[in-house]
Amino acid sequence: MEEQAILDAVRALALAHPEVAFTVEIEGRTRARWERADRFARAVAVLGGDAADYREGRAMHEGVSVWGVFALPTHTHRDASKVFWLVNGRPIRDRMLLSALRRAYQDVMLSERFPIAVVCIEMDPAAVDVNVHPAKREVRFARPAAVRQAVVQAALEAIGQGGAHAASALADDAVRLLAPRSSPSASAPVAPRSMAPEPLAVEEPQAAWAFARPHPFGRPLGQVQKRYIVTETTDGLLLIDPHAVHERILYERGKALLAQSGSFPAQRLLAPHHWRPDAEAHAWLKAHAKDLARFGILLAEDEDGWRILGVPALLAGQEAPERIVEGWVQAAIAVGDVPSSEQGPRIWRKWFADRACKAATTFGRAMTMEEIEALLAQMAETPNIAQCNHGRPTYVRLGLKELERLFARG
Ligand SMILES: [Zn+2]
């Protein structure tokens, strides 16, 4: 326990002073060692793992300056122990800041997981009270909302930069799963990768196949078990889950529509669907059915329930009309009682979060090569494409290095 406290203290110093090398020896054993580095490399060394799995984020908000190193959304931890906070160089803990950080990751990360990050906050020392807690680990901010806002902005910047990149830890997991148990490579320590983030881009289109422009997600080879797409990149292959990709594309389209117009266009159903909601939904609809029209949901009450006349065009054909509407009503009830256009994005996020990952139209369906190419092209244009809205990865990249480890050549 004491040992842990020592390590924690030195770790905080190491984060605040990357220009100094640190070695922690406890009873003759080296417990930690950090070489001199720039602050990004030092943060990665303290957090652990591959530099390619981290991005920097910066923000300046009402006199609060934030710089941080944030893990990709598919590189996560089981608890908050890998989130480090420094305020003017001093290590702190703050539950509100932690929940703000988790909120920044909320539609790109598995809900039960935690981010991995180092967050450095600089501000006027007069605006932060460090004498709240005897050990001075807790502080009180004069304007906590401004600090939270700056942290969220910095995290979102990092997530935006890294949103198309799947964590390299996924490839390590894949190799561990696939490699024969007896193979020495399965238990051998993973060699540290190069510190430079690797670009996903294909450098030159191949002669037998070319997109109109260079394609970041590779040359499609085909589909495995009517499900996973395999593509070849310049340095290996990608295994792509088209369902998870489709989920992210749909989610981002909805977000963009709501941001542009605050509404979803409706698609009228050829034949209205009769629907009997539960008592709570029915009572809510009595008051609010008309408010749902701006979200493309057209309803009319009849003797023993409702007729669904239209659903959001975006979702038409994705799921049964009553499932779309039922989910939307439940999401609207959860978000608040008057569904206004400002609440659209929150209702949409909730609707999508509650929707099971497996409710896929592309699940278990053979795709044509044209469909695969169209999907890859959409992937290239969609934000946060490396994970579905639930935080599951959309692809795993196996580079030559991982393939060589699989075949015990590494
Ligand atoms: Zn999902």
Q: Are residues 73 and 181 in the same domain?
A: no
Cα 152 to ligand 1 centre (Å): 23
Say if residue 209 is in the same domain as residue 334: no
Question: Cα(318) to centroid of ligand 1, in Å?
Answer: 14
- 340 and 367 share a domain? no
Q: How many whole angstroms from 394 Cα to the centroid of ligand 1?
A: 9
CATH of the domain at 49: 3.30.230.10
Question: How remote is the CA of residue 326 from the centroid of ligand 1, in Å?
Answer: 19
Distance CA 302, CA 275 (A): 10
Helix residue ranges per DSSP H, 179-241: 184-187
Give residue 244 CA to ligand 1 midpoint distance, Å.
6
Distance 139 CA to ligand 1 centre (A): 37
Query: Which of 123, 138, 162 is at the close of a domain?
Result: 162
Same domain, 335 and 196: no
Q: What is the pLDDT of residue 214?
A: 55
What is the Å distance from ligand 1's center to 104 Cα? Answer: 17
Which tokens go with 224? 């495995």
Write down which residue in 132, 162, 192 finishes a domain.
Answer: 162
pLDDT for res 160? 93
CA 248 / ligand 1 centre spacing (Å): 8
Ligand 1 midpoint to CA 73 (Å): 13
Q: How far does residue 141's CA lie from ligand 1's centre (Å)?
A: 37
For residues 210 and 291, state if they share a domain.
no
Please give the pLDDT value at position 260: 94
- If asked whether residues 338 and 255 sit together in one domain, one would say yes
Q: DSSP characters for 183-194?
A: -HHHHSPPPPPP
User: In a 3-state reduction of DSSP, which class is residue 119?
Assistant: strand
Strands 395-399 and 236-240: what pairing?
antiparallel
What's the 186 CA to ligand 1 centre distance in angstroms? 29
Burial 33-43 (b: 16+ CB within 10 A, else e): ebeebebbbbb
Claim to verify: residue 48 and residue 75 sit in the same structural domain: yes
Task: Tell me: do 332 and 211 sit in the same domain.
Answer: no
Answer yes or no: do 18 and 158 share one domain: yes
Q: Are residues 210 and 286 in the same domain?
A: no
Gap from CA of 323 to ligand 1 centroid (Å): 17
pLDDT attached to residue 194: 44
- pLDDT 10s per residue in the chain (410 long)? 688 888 888 998 999 999 999 999 988 899 999 999 999 999 999 999 899 999 999 999 999 999 999 999 999 999 999 999 999 988 899 999 999 999 999 999 998 999 999 999 999 999 998 877 777 678 899 999 999 999 999 999 999 999 889 888 888 888 887 776 544 444 444 444 444 444 454 444 444 444 444 578 999 999 998 899 999 998 899 999 999 999 999 999 999 999 999 999 999 999 999 999 999 999 999 999 999 999 999 999 998 899 999 999 999 988 899 999 999 999 999 998 678 888 899 999 999 988 877 655 556 788 999 999 999 999 999 999 999 999 999 999 999 988 888 887 76
174 and 314 belong to one structural domain: no
Give the chain's domain count: 3
Interval between CA 396 and ligand 1 midpoint (Å): 15
Query: Based on C-alpha coordinates, what's the Rg of the chain?
Result: 25
C-alpha 110 to ligand 1 mean position (Å): 9
Same domain, 234 and 376: yes
Residue 24 Cα to ligand 1 midpoint, Å, equals: 42
pLDDT at 197: 46
Indicate which CATH number applies to the domain containing 341: 3.30.1370.100
| Cα(391) to centroid(ligand 1), Å | 6
The Å distance, Cα 247 to ligand 1 centre, comes to 6
Give the Å distance between the CA of 105 and the centre of ligand 1.
14
- Domain housing 209: 168-241+362-406
In terms of Cβ atoms closer than 10 Å to its own Cβ (0-12, 13-18, 19+), residue 203 is exposed
Phi and psi at 295, nearest 5°, equal -100, 15
Distance (angstroms) between ligand 1 centre and the Cα of 197 equals 26
Question: Which of 140, 162, 184 lies at the terminal end of a domain, its last residue?
Answer: 162
